[in-house]
Chains A and B, each alone.
Chain A
Amino acid sequence: MALLELSHITAGYDKNIILRDFNLSVNRGDFVSLLGSSGCGKTTTLRLIAGFSEPNEGTISFDGKDITHVPLHKRNFGFVFQSYALFPHMTVFDNVAFGLKMRKVPKAEIRTRVMDMLRLVDLEGFESRYPREMSGGQRQRVALARAMVIRPDLMLFDEPLSNLDAKLRVKMRVEIRRLQQELGFTAIYVTHDQEECFAISDQVAIMNGGVIEQMDTPAHIFNAPKTEFIAHFVGFENFFRLTRVSGQLTAENGTPMHVALDRSGDAFTGCIRPEDVQILPPGSNALNGIPGEVLVSTFLGRTVQYNVRTAIGEFVVKADQSQVYPLGASVLLELSANKIILINPSNH
């Protein structure tokens, strides 16, 4: 049974409903990311789980118990904020000790637990500093220590790394993953950074317009997106209609299309990444060849990006520089059979 279960959640204000009939389940020990652009409801979801707000409808259960209306301070979930939210008037030690003091842990035990935790996040010797005397990365590690020292039943991360510079972000996400594997906590991680969330998670839930479009392992989402939105999200830029004509998938211009991962159904949207399309001289011999004309060519350094107009829509193609095609040139696009992904035509 899932550790955390959100069922039929509705949340938001009268006119601005953010989540509608929202469902999510998280297994014990998993690192689950909620990924999506701003306004998709990912932070709202996290805040509901934390207990900062309550849903209008639906239930949240944890470990089999209904916690929908359990107040924030009784949930024992650790929360890491984007802004760190350290208490500015307390030292690092007092910040980390705060949750333990609330739990009336004996003084000596507080001391050892705080020191152990500071050692774990590599902040030994910083205990009497104030937050404002520390760098962003150090502050975030204090925030991590403060949330983890209470031995939370669930760790919640709200874009914890987005205030850090790129290099530190990569370092910290490895750190967070290491801590999660070392301490074995269950985590829900909200981010809009695709790379970050793929690198860190066991499961990724991609959200769009208040619903989860797909929840899967990072590899699955990357290789087999289920909807056009997700395909866009993970780098598919070319979409074309495919219909089955007497058993054979066929493009709109009548070209028979061979797809390695065919499945049952009569109408699909085919999609392919720009780097998986070959651009060839006209008249070349190619499986799934679509003739077209170069509209725009953009030099990107290692590759050249072409926008090519074809009878089945405009294609974005990334090619190496071995052969350069000028504007207006006739070309043939080869859509590799084993790179085309079939998704159900979008109905929303």
Chain B
Amino acid sequence: MTSRMRKSFWLLLVLPGSLFITVFMLIPLFSVVISTFFPESSFTLSNYSGLIRNVYFQQVFGRSVRLSLLSTLLCALLGFPCAYYISRYSKHKGIMMAFAVFPLFTSPVIRSFSWMVILGKKGIINQFLVASGLFARPQSLLYNEFSMTVGFVQLFLPQMILSLLGVMDSIPEDLTEAAGSLGATRFVSFLRIIFPLSVSGLVTGSVLVFTGCMTAYTTPQLLGATDTQVLSTMVYQYAMSLRDWTQASAIAVVMIVVTMLVSSVFNRLSRKINPLAA
């Protein structure tokens, strides 16, 4: 085969996928971005300046970023020990992984509904709180930031565990043995060896969780309330209820920018911990 034929052969492999992405993702995305700067034929930043000055938007924006960051942090804290256990000590790795991934088989809607059952006024949490005498009457655990965070964490924890497991599995056992023989306790060798070497998985997981939380719609819709709106529900409201597509697009662009910014911050942090992490 000549090199030119080989080139066109590779092109043929790439073509269908790139065509699909161009038509169904790049062009719509581009038109969304463009439409926010050119609502009427001339260029303007008014859509964005309006948003930034809008106090309600500021609140929603703050809540979205705050809840997403908090959920990412919680997923990392819960996911790390889980993934570590599965990769190092578990004899039944396959079963453990199936358990970790199992929630992904259920729709987010169903999962949100089950939280409504658990966290409701007559749910088991409240029953326990009242029965144990901690509280005299049932607490409102639903339709607030708490229930949204719980929903997010449960929704995206599998992604975090899978990302971490991927890198932890590739860390050879003898590295921790070497650290041990040099005098490191298990905890120290986790901190100095396992953690820095898993950072790339932590970043992947964090980006997935953060992006997921920012863009999740059903969970904040079902577990939140009107006074706990987030960007994704706000986009829906502007587009579907107010029919203001340009404003909805502007919010969408803000979401994309924030997600990209946070991802790059995660990446930069990881390079500080492990300079070799890609």
Nearest CB in chain B: distance from A97 CB, A: 10
Q: Which residues of B contact A (CB under 8 A)?
A: 172, 174-175, 177-185, 188, 192-193, 196-197, 274-277
B177 touching A52, Cβ below 8 Å = yes
Q: Which residues of A contact B (CB under 8 A)?
A: 50-52, 71-79, 81, 83, 85-89, 98-99, 102-103, 130, 132, 146-147, 150
A85 touching B177, Cβ below 8 Å = yes
Cα distance A81–B172 in the bound complex, in angstroms: 12
Provide the residues of chain B in CB contact with A71, threshold 8 Å. Answer: 180
A81 touching B178, Cβ below 8 Å = yes
Cα distance A132–B197 in the bound complex, in angstroms: 14
Q: Which residue from chain B places its CB closest to the CB of A52 in the assembled complex?
A: B177
Whether A89 touches B275, Cβ cut-off 8 Å, given contacts A72-B180, A98-B179, A102-B188, is: yes
Q: Which residue from chain B places its CB closest to the CB of A78 in the assembled complex?
A: B181
A-B interface pairs (CB < 8 A), number: 67
Whether A146 touches B182, Cβ cut-off 8 Å, given contacts A83-B174, A89-B196, is: yes
B193 touching A99, Cβ below 8 Å = no
Provide the residues of chain B in CB contact with A146, threshold 8 Å. Answer: 178, 182
Q: Which residue from chain A places its CB closest to the CB of B183 in the assembled complex?
A: A102
Q: Is the interface of B mostly helix, strand, loop or mixed?
A: helix
Whether A99 touches B196, Cβ cut-off 8 Å, given contacts A79-B177, A85-B172, A85-B175, is: no
Nearest CB in chain A: distance from B195 CB, A: 10
Nearest CB in chain A: distance from B187 CB, A: 10
B174 touching A81, Cβ below 8 Å = yes
Provide the residues of chain B in CB contact with A81, threshold 8 Å. Answer: 174, 177-178
Cα distance A78–B177 in the bound complex, in angstroms: 11
Whether A150 touches B183, Cβ cut-off 8 Å, given contacts A83-B174, A85-B177, is: yes
Provide the residues of chain A in CB contact with B277, threshold 8 Å. Answer: 89
Provide the residues of chain A in CB contact with B188, threshold 8 Å. Answer: 102
B184 touching A102, Cβ below 8 Å = yes
Q: Which residue from chain A places its CB closest to the CB of B277 in the assembled complex?
A: A89
Q: List 11 A-B contacts (CB under 8 A).
A: A71-B180, A76-B183, A77-B181, A79-B178, A83-B172, A85-B174, A99-B183, A102-B182, A102-B188, A130-B276, A132-B276
B178 touching A73, Cβ below 8 Å = no
